[in-house]
Every structure is written in C-alpha cells, then in structure tokens.
Amino acid sequence: MSLGQSTNAQPSSGALPAPSAAQREHSDGLTELLARRIADQGWLSFADYMRSVLYEPGFGYYVSGNQKFGVGGDFTTAPETSDLFGNCIARQCQQVLESLQEPAAHVNRGLSGDSSAENPERSILEFGAGTGKLARAVLTTLANSHCLPDRYYILEPSSELRERQQALLSLLPEEVSGRVSWLERLPASFSGVVLANEVLDAMPVEIFSLQGSDVLQVGVGLKDGVLTSGFYPASASVREAVASIQRSPGISLADGYRSEVSLEVPGWIRSVSGMLERGALLLIDYGYTRREYYLPERDAGTLMCYYQQHAHSDPLWLPGAQDVTAHVDFTLVVETAIECGLELEGYTSQSAFLRANDLLEFASRAAAGDAIGDAASEGQAGTVSAQSLLVADQVKSLTLPGAMGERFAVAGFSRGLDITLRGFLLEDQSHRL
C-alpha cells in the first residue's frame, strides 16, 4: 500500500485507463460520505475504510452496478476463465453429495433418532456467486451426472450481481433452475457443500507497522478535504493479532515491517462452522501459509487494487470504483476451522485440486466438442481444432504456476463425513501450514 493522500490523480505504479465521468461522480459521492464520517470520528481504521469502499450501500464497489468480472471488468476469476473450473468443483461436490445419502456412522442422532438421517439434506451454498457462471457449470455438470443437489443456495450482497445471476440461471432447464434460491443471511443449519471462491480476499483487513517495540496501524484521515493515510496507535485487537503472528514458529518481523491482519476471517469461519451440521467447506483463494505471508522480503504487505484489468497499490484512488483486496493467511483459516471442530481435509494448489477432480477428462471432452453444459466457447467455437486451442489455453490459465494454478490455493474442511475429499488426494500440502 502506498501511504499518502488521494488526489484522484493516477497512481504512480503505472498508467491506468481514465475513469468515466460517471465513475468520478460515483467516487466523489463516496468520498464526501467518508469525509463526513472522518470529521465525526477523527480517522477511520483501514478495515473500516476498506469495508466502506467495497460494501457501503449505494456506493461500495461490490454493491454498485459497474461491471467487475471478465474482459470488460476489473479482473478475471477462474469461473470467468472457463467452465472447466466449475466442472471440477462439481466433481468434488458430487462426491460429498453422494456420501450424504447414507448416515455417517459417527454422527450423533440423539435419543429418539435423527429424522434428517433418514432424509438428509444434500444442498450447496455458494458465497458471492459473481456472474453466476460457477453455479451454472456446477449445476449442469451435476445434472449430467444425475446428482443434483436438493437446493443450490446463493448468498450475494450485491443486488446488481444477484440480478445477473438470476438472469443467467433462469436459462437452465426448469428442473435445475428451480432448485436455485437466494438468501439474505446464513441459514441456522445446513448440510451439504459450502463454496467460497475468492471470498476471503475481499474481507476488510487492518494494516499494521512495527515501529521499534510499538505496533501502529494504518488509518485514513482527512487533510484539506482530501483523503490521506497515516499511522495511528494500534487497537488492542490489532496488537493481539500481530503478537500471535510474532509467536508463530519461523517468523521474525523487523523494525518497520508492514503487512496486514484479518480480524474478520475468523468470525466468518466461526459463523459457517456454526451452521454446518454435516458436509464440506471449500475455500479457494489467493494466499499463503503464515510463514510465506510474513516473509522478511514481503515487508510491504500484499494489498492490491484492481481497475479495468490493471493492478496497482493505491487504495485511496477512486474509492468505490476499484477493487481492493489482500491475500489470505491460510494458516489463520485452518487454525480457526479446527478450533471450531471442523476436520481439515487438505490444503493444496488450485492446479492440483482441479487435476484431482478430472480436469484433463473434462478438457478432453470439451476439446472434442462436448461442452458438458459448458459455455466456455460462447461465440468462439468454430472448428474442433480451434476449440482444442481454446480449451488448451483455458487449462493453462487454470493450472500453470505463472497463472492461477499456483497463485490460488484450496483449503477443504468437513464435518460428519466418512470419506476423504478427492481433491486433496493428488497433492496435499497441509504440512506447510
């Protein structure tokens, strides 16, 4: 993150496309709101600022109507790259859904028996479903395998994205589309598969800096009517989180070290764990183990901003009209999940996870013209040769180390399952956590 003030000038990290007049007007409106809030409070913690620029009703990046995904948006996700990603996620879901047809031997059913064991729910809950392409690919693949979930729930904070999801998924056969519903909040209880693809990286983080023996945190203030960032005394929760990092084996943070801590990820894990009666939780995101996250050379943190397929490091530029994100500390994720009683199924790269879930088989079929419900070739199909080249490029994007394959990791957890999740059989890197 670049410390300084926002002037709406181009970030120094590189030339960015000029924002439209509507984007500037939108951003100015949010800036005025933030300025009033800062005037009342003195300054905002970076997490509060990040929460506002991403989720402020009417203004936040994820709740506004601007296109976010794909070529015309700010970044490209795996489901947007190819439905092969969703095909493989479906294969993992299928294993879990089929296992839920039989009561688990070690699930406590109470004195009078558990009626849900006789008719167990077999559903999927996806957080932040983007354009709906992952849901479409998963549902179509499961339909072809005669293993549709009872329900496919979507928890989506953006009304604009929810409308796009509804429009896309309504095109599926009624037997499939009729199983999809949108939630406003977590259900009290759930059995099935919980999917979160690129969800944790969008949760607000605090930025800390070590100054001698003291811990400071980055906050956002106001100077001459302009948003500006600076160091402020760290809160007790930030100090505690930093102290926990410093106690971790193999970590030594030098004077002046700056990075992020997530105070929201643990609470989210606890909430999901609290509702999951039986099934699996799959988390796919870019991140590191704790020792990798807080390497000495990574002393400026991982915070990045994305605007029209360009990356830069100034979160104060054009608030509300660009994405702001940070990598995930997967060690923190795993520690919290285990504390909540979930069982770690595995931790691996996206490449290994997809290959373990029949990526090459799906790719071969898609290259031969069998789309498996896949719209990856929308308007691009042409000859089988052209289709083969397209599919090969998609596989490279999903699996190569320099693309998404090694930058993204998958962590899997379970409760009440008598199986080993197939996605971690090829390569489990849990020992690195």
Per-residue pLDDT tens for 262-278?
Answer: 999 999 999 999 999 99
CA–CA separation, 329 vs 266, rounded Å?
11
Is 269 contained in some domain?
no
User: What is the average per-residue pLDDT within 292-315?
Assistant: 95
Query: Which of 76, 64, 60, 65 is closest to 319 using CA atoms?
Result: 60
Q: What do you get for the CA distance between the two ends of the chain, in Å? A: 26
Q: Considering the domain boundaries, does residue 421 fall inside one? A: yes
pLDDT range class, residue 13, cuts 50, 70, 90: very low
Highest mean pLDDT out of 10-14, 70-74, 385-389? 385-389
pTM: 0.91
How many other CB atoms are found less than 10 A from the CB of residue 150? 15
pLDDT at 389: 93
User: Is it the case that residue 105 has pLDDT exceeding 80?
Assistant: no
Distance CA 199, CA 45 (A): 21
Is 399 part of a structural domain of the chain? yes
Largest CA distance in the chain: 68
Mean pLDDT of 282-296: 98
* The token pair that represents 247 in the structure block: 């106690």
Say if residue 36's pLDDT is above 90.
yes
Angle formed by the axes of helices 83-99 and 359-367, to 10°?
130
Tally of structural domains, the chain: 1
Three-state DSSP class for 248?
coil
The 10s digit of each residue's pLDDT in 304-354 is 999 988 899 999 999 999 999 999 999 999 999 999 999 999 999 999 999
Q: Does residue 322 come out as left (phi exceeding 0), alpha (psi in the -120 to 50 range) or beta?
A: beta
pLDDT at 355 over 60: yes
Range of the domain at 182: 78-201+333-432
Percent of the chain, pLDDT > 70? Answer: 87
Q: Could you write out the DSSP letters of every residue in 169-216?
A: HTTS-HHHHTTEEEESS--S-EEEEEEEES-GGGS--EEEEEETTEEE
pLDDT of residue 64: 78
pLDDT digits (tens, 9 = 90+) for 123-167: 999 999 999 999 999 999 999 999 999 999 999 988 889 999 999
Residues sharing a CB contact under 8 Å with residue 217, sequence separation 6 or more, in sequence order: 45, 46, 206, 207, 208, 209, 231, 232, 233, 234, 235, 238
Q: Could you tell me if residue 85 is inside a domain? A: yes
Residue 308 lies in a domain: no
Hey, what are 78's tokens? 């795996």
Mean predicted confidence (pLDDT) in 424-429: 97
Q: Which of 314, 203, 310, 178 is nearest to 261 (CA)?
A: 203
Secondary structure (3-state) at 45:
strand
Q: What's the pLDDT score for residue 191?
A: 98
Residues near 28 by beta carbon (within 8 Å), at least 6 away in sequence: none
Of 135 and 102, the structure prediction assigns the larger pLDDT to 135
Mean pLDDT of the chain: 90
Contact call for residues 78 and 88 (beta carbons, < 8 A): no
Q: Is residue 272 part of a domain?
A: no
Residue 339 is part of a domain; what is its CATH number?
3.40.50.12710
Provide the Cα torsion 228, 232, 235, 238; round to 10°: 70
373 occurs within a structural domain: yes
Which one is predicted more confidently, 381 or 98?
98
Say what the pLDDT of residue 9 is.
54
The region, left, alpha or beta by phi > 0 then psi within -120 to 50, assigned to residue 382 is left
- Please say if the pLDDT value at position 92 is more than 50: yes
Helix (H, G, I), strand (E, B) or coil at 348: strand
pLDDT at 46 over 80: yes
Tell me, yes or no, whether 309 lies in a domain: no
Over residues 106-122, the pLDDT tens digits come to 554 433 344 444 566 89
The contacts of residue 225 (CB under 8 Å, 6+ apart) are 35
Cα–Cα distance for residue pair 358/99, rounded to 1 Å: 19
pLDDT in tens, 163-215: 999 999 999 999 999 999 999 999 999 999 999 999 999 999 999 999 998 99
What pLDDT shows up at residue 381? 47
